[in-house]
Structure formats: structure tokens, C-alpha cells
Amino acid sequence: MAHVVVIGAGLGGLPAAYELRHLLPKSDTVTLISNEPNFTFIPGLIQIALDLKPIDHVQLDLVPLARRHGLNLILGAVTALDPDRRQVTVKDQTLDYDYVLIATGASLAFDLIPGLGPHGGYTQSVCTPSHALAARQAWLKFLEQPSGPLVVGAAPGAGCFGPAYEFVLMAEHELRKRGLRDQVEIVYITAEPYVGHLGVSGVKNAREYTADLMEQRGVRVIDNAVIQTVTPDAVLLADGQSIPFGYSMILPAFRGVEFIRQVPGLADEKGFIPILPTQRHPEFPHIYTVGVSIKLAQPDVTPVPIGMPKSGQMTEAMATAAAHNIAVDLGAIKAPQIIPTLDALCFAEFGDTGIAYIAAPVIPDPVTGKRRSSYAMRGPWIVWAKAAFEEYFMIKMRQGVGMPWFEKLGLRTLFGLRLLKSVPPSDPSKLAST
Ligand SMILES: Cc1cc2nc3c(=O)[nH]c(=O)nc-3n(C[C@H](O)[C@H](O)[C@H](O)COP(=O)(O)OP(=O)(O)OC[C@H]3O[C@@H](n4cnc5c(N)ncnc54)[C@H](O)[C@@H]3O)c2cc1C
């Protein structure tokens, strides 16, 4: 009677818990620990911040989901993990585990830049449900009387740029729709080496399509930017520029959540957890990690440091692989281990059009520097595709489904993405750390 604990009920944790529940016998327990009462589809938060839909469109109450789908849910924040004793502490309970799967996403490093972020700072964020709601309140006030430029961007060390592009171009679209565009100058400030890099260099057409759109929409771009301080009405850069704003949304650098950083030998200095390709920890064989919590080195040396994006769909593939491999380790299924290919697809919507960025895999071959395929596509269909994918994902989470075969087949047929592959036990690449 094994006990598997999943920490975090986001895009990685909830699908992983469902996969585990399907793969393990009923006598085994799958415990899901979440510090939030809801599952949130994080990519939908930009629309919440811009008041395009209510928050309940992207959230699901975890209590009925867990009851319906056989998960032992504990609501509370994990505060400690002891890999040697195989124990997790949540609130006043200590749980023993056979395997733990960490899917706690990002902790937001606003403290690295004075004045950054909604907690005592002057910029908004869209990274959590409460941030998106606060950003919406400020946005509605801004629309009543735009008091200065709109400044959107990503701080040095950020590893997630798509949401910043979506925010700036969707906000531009909204301002146009409301007849306010002439009153608002728009500036995009980014640590990326060029517009359209998104933390992933060399994606065919990505730079050109993104730069074209920013130019057509009249968005001034400042790249290679080092944001040093934010005051109540301006972003100050290391090169001395001061960019005034009436409304600002800046994505911070990410790091691993606090309890991870407290466990000796578990993570790197930023709190990101190293993994083998199977998602297992190289030193602690009973710990698996998926999603934003993993360590994924940025292969590009850029003038301003940036992280590597870990997209939602990559996270889902990691969750599927980790759940499968835990079931193999426990002897619940007889199959080779599987690994995610890290093929990435990101639909970015910009109001009346969008760009799909495809990098398969996200990390190029270290020898040739090439990927199997990588390109960008653009058009209004991306807005519809993103909305359809969001709807599909929410249905899956309601129904207790992880990553079904037709999703894998669909992504392979439409975009050439492979998502997962089996590893023969003798394959040494399985042992190499990413
Ligand atoms: C605004 C935004 C837009 C995005 N848009 C896209 C997109 O369009 N396409 C795309 O592919 N990717 C997108 N991403 C990236 C995508 O959201 C992530 O890849 C994905 O959410 C990662 O899943 P995760 O499980 O690692 O983290 P999350 O989904 O963030 O889930 C982590 C969960 O763990 C919980 N948690 C944290 N600490 C604890 C603790 N101590 N105890 C218990 N629970 C804890 C958190 O509350 C959270 O519920 C976007 C990201 C952001 C921020």
C-alpha cells in the first residue's frame, strides 16, 4: 500500500495526481497538497487582469474534484521536506511518503528590484490569481483616466516572456477598442536580447513576426534592459533611462518556493531542482519534480541574464512522464520508463491575432546547436486555438483526465510535436542530468 504525495495543484500537479490515480491500484493513496483551494489555469490570467473574463472561468474548486476522482486532498502549504526520512510537513501534520512529486511552480522574486511588484511596490503582476485580480482593479482605474504611459515588461532573470507580450498587445488592442489608444504611449521593456526571443533563440520567424507586430501597434521596445528600481511613477534602468508610467505590469525573475530552498542538496542556489530525464532527482530517488520547479539551464549567453521558459504543455508532458515512472518504480505497471522530449508549443494571443511559437525541443542539440524543428506561425486562428485549448484543458481537469492519447496524437499531427518517448533501461542518456 504505497503513498504518493503530489505537492502543488497547478498545471503540473493536478494532471500528475490524476495520472497517478489511474496508474496505481486502489489500495495505494495519492495525496494532493495545495496551498490554494482552487486549480487555476495560469495562462488565462492575462484575460482576467484585462477584465475580459471573470476569474471563475479559469478556476476549479479542488475539494469536489478530489472527492470525485479519488485523491486525498490536503489544503495547506508544505513548509518542510525531509528526503532522508521521506517526510513532508504541511500545517501541523507530518506525512510519510514512498514517492513525492514536486509541482510547486515559481516563487516570484520581486524583492530583487526595489519597487517591483504588487506587494509594497508599484507594478502589477499576472502570475497568480490574486495578482491578476489586483492588476484588473488598477487597469479599470487606469481606463477611467489614463494618467501616463503603459509600461509592460520582464525583469532580468525572468524565464517567462510570452505573458508580457500577450499583456502588452492585448492591452493595446483594448485601448484601441475603447478609443483611448491616442492618449497612451506604450513601452515594452525586456531583458531579452531582442524582441521575439522569448528565452528561446533561433525560432524561425519569431523575431520578425513579433517585431513587426510591435511596430505595427506602435509599441516602443527597449531590449537588453536592466531594470534597477521602480518608483511610484517610473521604471529606472541601469543605463540611466527613466521610463514614466501610469500603469505598469512587469514579470519578475522566478525562483523555487521556500521549503525547497531549505532542503540541503535538493536544489540549486535559486531553488530549481535538478532532474534526470525521467524527472527523478539525481540524488534522491524518491523525489520527482515537474514544471517550473525544475532546473533547466539557459544555453544562450545573453548580455542580460534570462531564464529558460517552461511552458504549460511541457509541464503537462513532464507530469505524465513522472507519474508513469513512479508507477513503474512501484511495480504498478510493467513498461519502460518514459521521458518528456521538451518539445514546446506556446500560443500567444494578441487581441485580434496571435503567434504560435514552436521549439522542438526547447533546448537545441548541444553538439549541432540545432532543433528538430522550430518556427513561428501567425494569424487570428491562434486566438481561437488558445481559447479552445483552455476550454479543453478545463474539461480535462473537471473529468479527472491527465494527458489522453488523442491529445498526443493531435499535437503530433498538427505541429509535429512528440511530447514523450520510451527509454530502454540500458539507455545511458536517461542518467544524464539536464
Ligand atoms: C501569466 C502567465 C501566463 C502563461 N501563459 C502560458 C501560455 O500561454 N502557454 C504556456 O504554455 N505556458 C504559459 N505559462 C506558463 C505555465 O503557466 C506554466 O508552465 C505552468 O503553470 C507550470 O505549471 P506548474 O505546475 O509548475 O506551476 P503552477 O501551475 O504555477 O502550479 C503550482 C501550484 O503549486 C502551489 N504551491 C506553491 N507552493 C506550495 C506549497 N508550499 N505547498 C502547496 N502548494 C504550493 C501553487 O499555489 C500553485 O497552485 C504562463 C505563465 C504565466 C505566469
64-119 confidence digits (pLDDT tens): 999 999 999 999 999 999 999 999 999 899 999 999 999 999 999 999 999 999 99
Cell numbers at 189, concatenated: 521593456
One-letter identity of residue 138: A
* Pairing label, strands 72-75, 29-34: parallel
Within 6 Å (CB) of ligand 1, which residues are found? 7-13, 33-36, 42-43, 45-46, 77-78, 103-105, 126-127, 160, 162-163, 257, 259, 291-293, 310-313, 315, 346
Q: Residue 258 in contact with residue 237, Cβ under 8 Å?
A: no
Measured distance CA(144)–CA(386) in Å, rounded: 29
Per cent of the chain over pLDDT 70 is 97
Q: Best of 38, 311, 357, 362 to mutate for ligand 1, by most ligand atoms within 8 A of CB?
A: 311
Split at pLDDT 50, 70, 90, the class of 430 is: low
Measured distance CA(106)–CA(76) in Å, rounded: 17
Residue 415: is its pLDDT beyond 90?
no
Residue 432: is its pLDDT beyond 50?
no
Cα–Cα–Cα angle for 409, 410, 416, rounded to 5 degrees: 85
Domain-embedded: residue 257: no
Distance 180 CA to ligand 1 centre (A): 33
Distance 426 CA to ligand 1 centre (A): 34
pLDDT at site 7:
98
**pTM over 0.85, yes/no:** yes
Residue nearest to atom 38 of ligand 1 (CA): 104
Residue of 370 and 9 predicted with greater confidence: 9
The answer to which of 49-63, 140-154, 407-421 has the lowest mean pLDDT is: 407-421
Q: What does the pLDDT average to over 215-220?
A: 98
Domain-embedded: residue 17: no
Distance 198 CA to ligand 1 centre (A): 17
pLDDT at site 347:
94
pLDDT at site 431:
47
What ligand 1 atom has the least distance to the C-alpha of 106?
Answer: 30
Split at pLDDT 50, 70, 90, the class of 413 is: confident
For residue 280, give the nearest of 144, 432, 406, 159 by alpha carbon.
432
Measured distance CA(395)–CA(410) in Å, rounded: 17
Measured distance CA(355)–CA(392) in Å, rounded: 20
pLDDT at site 433:
43
Residue of 70 and 372 predicted with greater confidence: 70
Which residues are paired to 349 by β-bridges?
354
109 CA to centre of own chain:
15
What ligand 1 atom has the least distance to the C-alpha of 132?
Answer: 1
Distance 60 CA to ligand 1 centre (A): 14
* CA-based torsion, 211, 45, 420, 87: positive or negative: positive
Residue of 429 and 121 predicted with greater confidence: 121
pLDDT at site 114:
98
Q: What is the pLDDT of residues 291-321, one digit of tens each?
A: 999 999 888 889 999 999 999 999 999 999 9
Measured distance CA(74)–CA(72) in Å, rounded: 7
How many folded domains does the chain comprise?
1
3-state secondary structure of 392: helix
**Full residue range of the structural domain in which residue 169 is found:** 110-251
Distance 11 CA to ligand 1 centre (A): 6
Of 55, 322, 339, 346, the active-site residue reads 346
Q: What does the pLDDT average to over 357-376?
A: 91
40 CA to centre of own chain:
12
Residue of 64 and 434 predicted with greater confidence: 64
Domain-embedded: residue 213: yes
Q: Best of 292, 294, 358, 407 to mutate for ligand 1, by most ligand atoms within 8 A of CB?
A: 292
Residue nearest to atom 7 of ligand 1 (CA): 43
Domain-embedded: residue 153: yes
User: In whole numbers, what is the pLDDT of the chain averaged over residues?
Assistant: 95
Which residues are paired to 294 by β-bridges?
273
Q: What is the pLDDT of residues 261-283, one digit of tens each?
A: 999 999 999 999 999 999 999 99
> Which position has the grid cell 470525485?
68
User: Has 127 been annotated as catalytic?
Assistant: no
pLDDT at site 405:
86
* Pairing label, strands 287-289, 373-378: unpaired
Domain-embedded: residue 176: yes
Domain-embedded: residue 429: no
Domain-embedded: residue 274: no
Q: What is the CA radius of gyration of the chain?
A: 21
Q: What does the pLDDT average to over 383-407?
A: 94
Q: What does the pLDDT average to over 348-367?
A: 93
Q: What does the pLDDT average to over 124-132?
A: 98
Helices (H), 178-238: 206-216
User: Has 160 been annotated as catalytic?
Assistant: yes
CATH number at residue 185: 3.50.50.60
Domain-embedded: residue 307: no
Distance 34 CA to ligand 1 centre (A): 12
Q: Residue 305 in contact with residue 314, Cβ under 8 Å?
A: no
